[in-house]
Amino acid sequence: MKKKLVIIMLIILVVIAGLGAAAYFVVSGNSEKDKKPTIDEVVAATVSVDDITTNLKSNTIIRIGIKLETDSSKAKEELEKRDFQVKDNIISILADTSADEIEGDKGREAFKNTLKEKINSYLQAGKVQKVYITSFNLQ
């Protein structure tokens, strides 16, 4: 009887230790994923798009500069090769946008989200995480 009790207690201790070890690895693994990249890592994964001057739907002229932050160096390389497609996307989105729609924080955020979705739809080696507007001039 005592032997069975000792065996059951040992099994319970092993199970508890196993659960504790699993919890430790899950928690420590998530902290690596949640770690924010350093500014050097962000810059290394960012692609600059030359300033683009084009007409908006409202016949207003816009000059805009953009940087695209990717999730990996492979995504950055692919995005640099697809520069012509990125510029085409920017011009197409802006051609369907009026000055009133792009002015203000909400309009610029909507433009950034639309651009990110379009680019991510054809990227194969990663994705664009953030779109930054580095210059913005409406005339």
Question: pLDDT at position 31, please?
Answer: 52
**Which amino acid appears at position 38 of this protein?**
T
Whether 70 contacts 127, CB under 8 Å = yes
Q: Round to whole Å and give the CA distance between 41 and 70.
A: 10
pLDDT in tens, 39-77: 888 888 999 999 999 999 988 999 999 999 999 889 999
Residue 33: pLDDT band (50, 70, 90) is low
Nearest-10 Cα torsion for 95, 99, 103, 108: -10
pLDDT in tens, 68-97: 999 988 999 999 999 999 999 999 999 999
